[in-house]
Amino acid sequence: MTVTGCSTGQAHGSGIVVAPDLVLTAAHVVKGAKTIDVTNGARDAAGAIVAFDPDMDLAYVHLDTSLGAPSAISDGRVSRGARGIAYVFRDGHPTTIPITVRRPVNIRTEDIYIKGETNRPGYELDADIRSGDSGGPVVVDGEVVGVLWARSNTHDGRAYAIDPVLAGDRVRSQLSSGTIDSAIDLARCN
* HEC assignment per residue over 152-172: CCCCCCEEEEECCCCCCHHHH
Q: Beta partners for 12?
A: 2
pLDDT of residue 132: 85
* Closest by Cα among 128, 9, 17, 2 to 62: 17
Domains parsed from the chain with CATH numbers: 2-69+169-177 (2.40.10.10), 83-162 (2.40.10.10)
Are residues 171 and 186 in contact, defined by beta-carbon separation less than 8 angstroms?
no
DSSP state of 70: P
Question: How far apart, in whole angstroms, are the C-alpha atoms of residue 21 and residue 48?
Answer: 11
57-74 in b/e form (b: 16+ CB < 10 A) is bbbbbbbeeebeebbebb
pLDDT of residue 140: 96
Question: How far apart, in whole angstroms, are the C-alpha atoms of residue 12 and residue 8?
Answer: 13
pLDDT of residue 84: 97
Are residues 36 and 81 in contact, defined by beta-carbon separation less than 8 angstroms?
no
Tally of residues, the chain: 190
Q: How confident is the model at residue 8 (pLDDT cuts 50, 70, 90)?
A: low
Q: Is 52 exposed, middle or buried (0-12, 13-18, 19+ CB in 10 A)?
A: buried
pLDDT of residue 10: 75
When mean pLDDT is compared across 2-6, 70-74, 81-85, 177-181, the lowest value belongs to 2-6
Are residues 147 and 99 in contact, defined by beta-carbon separation less than 8 angstroms?
no
pLDDT of residue 91: 80
* Residue 115 region by backbone torsions, left for phi larger than 0, else alpha for psi between -120 and 50, else beta: alpha
Q: pLDDT digit string (tens) for 144-158?
A: 999 999 999 899 999
Q: Residue 141 carries which side chain, given as an amino acid letter?
A: D
When mean pLDDT is compared across 59-63, 74-78, 104-108, the lowest value belongs to 74-78
Terminal Cα distance for the chain, rounded: 20
Q: Which stretches within the chain are classed as H helix?
A: 27-30, 169-177
Q: pLDDT digit string (tens) for 27-58?
A: 999 999 999 999 887 788 999 999 999 999 99
Are residues 120 and 28 in contact, defined by beta-carbon separation less than 8 angstroms?
no
